[in-house]
Amino acid sequence: MDAAVEKIAILDFEASSLSEASWPIEIGLSWLEHGEVRTWSSLIHPAHDWEIDDWSPQSAAVHGISLSELREAPSTTEVAETFFKVLGGRKLVSDAPEFEIRWLDRLLRAAGRAENPSIEDFDGTSFAVFEGYALDLVYETIERRPAPHRAGPDTARLARGWLKASQHQAFLELEGRTA
């Protein structure tokens, strides 16, 4: 297993819409640990100052989360605390960092948190960590699974690509030592 990818977590949000005023409604993290994909996700109760008018029925049709489901969701404070506990010392990557940075910032500000972790690009990180057939395996694995448009499963889908590539690299290293 490539030690570099075990120090990274993949982040995804589902949101009220794609507008500038949008706010996060679900967060997901996936990472590799001991040769397995681990995932955590949570719905997010809207903060009192988030504009309910920014709720998009079109976005809801894509992710399938209703506004009523968010009424019973954990608060921004609870979600932020759990996020940092689960994240540990891992670095963040995303396949859409420009959106995730905005939504993470909205979540953390609503929770009164001063931290502002950076988010790297999934593709850039993949190209930095993997090469050759292992890199092909990342994208082949992802392409074979349609995006479910839910934060946890979306991050797990990307992490499975890294897992396949890591397993291939580990096999080549083992083969090289025994050959």
Q: Where are the alpha helices (DSSP H) in 20-131?
A: 57-63, 76-87, 97-110, 122-129
Q: How many angstroms separate the CA atoms of 141 and 159, rounded?
A: 10
The gap from C-alpha 171 to its chain's centroid, in whole angstroms, comes to 27
Q: How confident is the model at residue 169 (pLDDT cuts 50, 70, 90)?
A: confident
Domains of the chain in start order, with CATH, are 5-178 (3.30.420.10)
pLDDT tens column, 13-39 = 999 999 999 999 999 999 999 999 999
For helices 132-143 and 151-178, angle between their N-to-C axes, nearest 10 degrees = 150
pLDDT tens column, 88-133 = 999 999 999 999 999 999 999 999 999 989 999 999 999 999 999 9
pTM for the predicted model, two decimal places? 0.93
Q: Residue 9, Cβ neighbours under 10 Å: how many?
A: 27
Residue 177 has pLDDT above 70, yes or no: no
